[in-house]
Structure 1
Amino acid sequence: MSDVKKGQDWLDAHTNKVDPYKRLMEMKVTEEIMEKINDAKFAWLDLIVEGHMSVICAKANGGKTTLMVHAAGEMAAAGYKVIYINADASASDIKHYAHHAKEFRYELINPDLTGGTPEQIVEIFKDWTRSDSDFSSTVLILDTLKKFTDMMSKNHGKGFYSILRSLTAKGMTVICLAHTNKYDGQDGKPVFEGVGDLRNDFDELVYLVPVKNDDGTITISTLIDKSRAALKDQSFLISKDREVSLLPNHVDTLSLAQYQKSLVEDADVIGFILEKIKPISRSVTELHAISQEESTGYSRKRLEGVLKRYCSGNCHDPKWLAMAAPTYGIKYGNINPDYAAKLKSEWGLKV
């Protein structure tokens, strides 16, 4: 061994040389982690994992309470002791939920109507963490999370989440309902309300993305943001009477919600195009020429974008057909209502 190598070995041994990869390797996916993912037992569908902390986020009136009330009934029927703490509903809504809880045999707790407070409930949770009870068959649902902790306070939130984590260590399944911000992210996806630790402290973070159907029903799909098990996205139909049914296929409601937003923004251009293609199919060049003649102010780029966005093949609810045509490339014309309905049903939507 050279003197240089000996000197380097001595230096490494006496200076406690830091492994540059050590901190990163603490996040390495190990066999143990993979076994936990594969061995996860679901309490409800492929969404709620037994013994995990899950947070379900949606906008106000986004269907989270209706969906979880339905889930509570199904989990109770499966043999779990379900405790649903609703600290966010009005007295009239609680009456409806109480009938459901009685029918499906789970416990409905409301501090406002019984002289209690969310703070007292948190103290009860602390007592549970100190008990020797086995909570492996218990499902706790908190509606909503902001009633029990300050969502904008990092320290306050962490303290409450640590209590819930202690309950999961005793086998309890914890589900928290939370709100999303009023405005979506730049990618169009919802963003949870509160500090970033919310995502870090929960095992699963799932968004609910609703779209309203023409008949007054609501289609809701999950958008899994974080998971420590093999979750699968699901879609549900909520009737006007708040009845919930599981749909056979997942519906991309995020794209549909973005479509509905675009529909409002493009309404005037859509109306112009529909009027001009009603008597005869036209190309973007022809439509742009008409727009210039009538001084509507629609640029070729704007017309082309709207034509492509709502044509058959690109849209779940197409406004017109796109047809190959000599010289013009593509012409746009009227679409048969039956064919439009068929395309809509293929997206899993009601027609």
Structure 2
Amino acid sequence: MQEGEVVAALTVAAMVAGLSKEETEKTIRSGIEVGKQSPRQIPKTHYSTTDLGSNPEPGTAPQAIDPVNLLRGFEVNTHYVEKLGKEEFYYPNLIIKRHVITIIAMPGGAKTTFCFFHAAPFLADNGLKVWYIDADSPASDHKRMKELADRHGFKFLNPDCNPGTTMEGLLSTLQQIADAHSELEGWIIFVDTLKKVADLMSKNSVKNFYQLARKLANLGATVVLLGHANKYRDKDGSLVFEGVGDIRADSDELIYFERKSNQNGGIDVTTIINPDKGAKVRGLFKAISFHVSPQREISFYEKPLPVIDRTATAVPKATDDEIVAAAKKYLFSRNEPVVQRQLVQQAADLTGTGVERVRRIIVQNSEPKGSLSLSGHPFVYTIGEKNAHFIELPL
């Protein structure tokens, strides 16, 4: 800038700041004289070829790069291909040795039921050292969970159960184990759930936790992280994990549990491993399907079940009448009273509607069976043990 331009700009700034004309002229004149005598050098900006938003300094040629080498890091290499089909699965088609695995499902999607009540005992019975970190289950389940862990010889950890212990303290302990380069061969560490160990909307928080998980895996451990799916699916009806993109990027595998109600009770779950459905795997996997009974017992299907077409969730919501019709259709097929929770889930699955909305509509359209003044509601209910509501069609 020319000296006149500098003086004009500084004069305006000084006047805005409230300086008098005399103070302004004196300050600017003094500053310019000092600047002429001892000019300050402005350091040149260093540009990186990895910074796509930067431009070379005017008048200089851009730094030479080797585009072949830059892209080679993304090439499917021979080492990767040779390992395909030779993965060492600790649990078939789900858990690979020394990997960081993230399993995602909707609430009620059988993450804990499968991992704590089935996978952890299976792995412990096969001689692995299993540590199950639980921060999501109600206290009413802890006695049963502790008995199961003791029976199969794995460790059940909960940071809220002992005086003075916290999740922050548990994470600090894991970091201490990692920093000490401990021998963790044969360890399986479950974390239930992911949102209790990191702020899922913070890239730094997620990145820091996954770096810890990766360090544990490099020391021999296998880390299995359980997380929630978003309430809303994507435009294709696929599940979407809750949190920032680093969750997928920093996982070796990201596998979804897709659930649907079983008309005979319980739920059926199928693993989603296809990249076009948002999943990620580093190995040869096959989808598996299993049934979870109302008593949380797990049995497996010989072949994976077809997954419900969820594209309906991307179109306008079902009307109240359509939800009522879906519930009536299910009750008619059962021809017996059905516990309200099961009916709600079935109607939600059939219409692609959230369970809270379905529950509200069914409650609003139900009345006590045998009431002297029936008002023509499409459903009637009776109350069983533990205040369970059983819904059926009126006679």
TM-score over 0.5 (shorter chain): yes
Amino acid at match of 1:45: P
Task: Note the C-alpha offset of 1:156.
Answer: 1.1
- The equivalent of 1:246 in structure 2 is 300
Kept in 2, the 8 Å contact 1:56–1:175? The answer is yes
Q: Is 2:144 the partner of 1:96?
A: yes
Q: How does 1:256-267 map to 2 (within 5 A)?
A: none
- The equivalent of 2:287 in structure 1 is 233
Q: Is 2:252 the partner of 1:198?
A: no
Q: Which one of the candidate residues 234, 238, 247 is aligned to 1:185?
A: 234
1:119-174 CA-to-partner distances (Å, cap 9, x unmatched) read 11111111111224321200000000110111010011101110110000011000
CA distance in 2, matches of 1:263, 1:234: 30
How many positions carry a matched residue from both structures?
260
Kept in 1, the 8 Å contact 2:238–2:310? The answer is no
CA gap of 1:248–1:264, structure 2 versus 1, over 3 A, is: farther
Q: Which one of the candidate residues 47, 54, 59 is aligned to 2:106?
A: 59
CA distance in 2, matches of 1:124, 1:249: 42
Task: Note the C-alpha offset of 1:175.
Answer: 0.1
What is the root-mean-square deviation of aligned Cα atoms in Å?
A: 2.9
Task: Note the C-alpha offset of 1:16.
Answer: 6.7
Could you tell me the TM-score, scaled by structure 2's length?
0.61
Could you tell me the TM-score, scaled by structure 1's length?
0.68
Work out the percentage of aligned pairs sharing the same amino acid.
Answer: 35
Larger Rg, first or second structure (1 or 2): 2
Kept in 2, the 8 Å contact 1:54–1:202? The answer is yes
1:309-347 CA-to-partner distances (Å, cap 9, x unmatched) read xxxxxxxxxxxxxxxxxxxxxxxxxxxxxxxxxxxxxxx
Q: Is 2:85 the partner of 1:31?
A: no
CA distance in 1, matches of 2:323, 2:183: 62
- The equivalent of 1:218 in structure 2 is 267
Give unpaired runs (5+ residues) of structure 2.
1-60, 274-278, 326-395
CA gap of 1:254–1:114, structure 2 versus 1, over 3 A, is: farther
Task: Note the C-alpha offset of 1:187.
Answer: 0.5
Q: Is 2:161 the partner of 1:113?
A: yes
Kept in 2, the 8 Å contact 1:219–1:253? The answer is no
Task: Note the C-alpha offset of 1:102.
Answer: 1.8
CA gap of 1:258–1:139, structure 2 versus 1, over 3 A, is: farther
- The equivalent of 1:279 in structure 2 is none
- The equivalent of 1:81 in structure 2 is 129
CA distance in 2, matches of 1:262, 1:97: 42
Q: Which one of the candidate residues 81, 105, 115 is aligned to 1:68?
A: 115
Q: Residue 67 of structure 2 aligns to a residue in which SS?
A: coil
Structure with bigger RCO (C-alpha 8 Å, 6+ apart):
1
CA gap of 1:33–1:99, structure 2 versus 1, over 3 A, is: same
CA distance in 2, matches of 1:83, 1:269: 43
Amino acid at match of 2:290: F
CA gap of 1:243–1:256, structure 2 versus 1, over 3 A, is: farther
1:180-235 CA-to-partner distances (Å, cap 9, x unmatched) read 10001101000000001110001000000110111221100000110111122111
Q: Residue 237 of structure 1 aligns to a residue in which SS?
A: strand
1:4-41 CA-to-partner distances (Å, cap 9, x unmatched) read xxxxxxxxxx9974233332221101111123333320
- The equivalent of 2:91 in structure 1 is 44
CA gap of 1:79–1:195, structure 2 versus 1, over 3 A, is: same
CA distance in 2, matches of 1:60, 1:193: 12
CA gap of 1:211–1:71, structure 2 versus 1, over 3 A, is: same
CA distance in 1, matches of 2:83, 2:322: 53
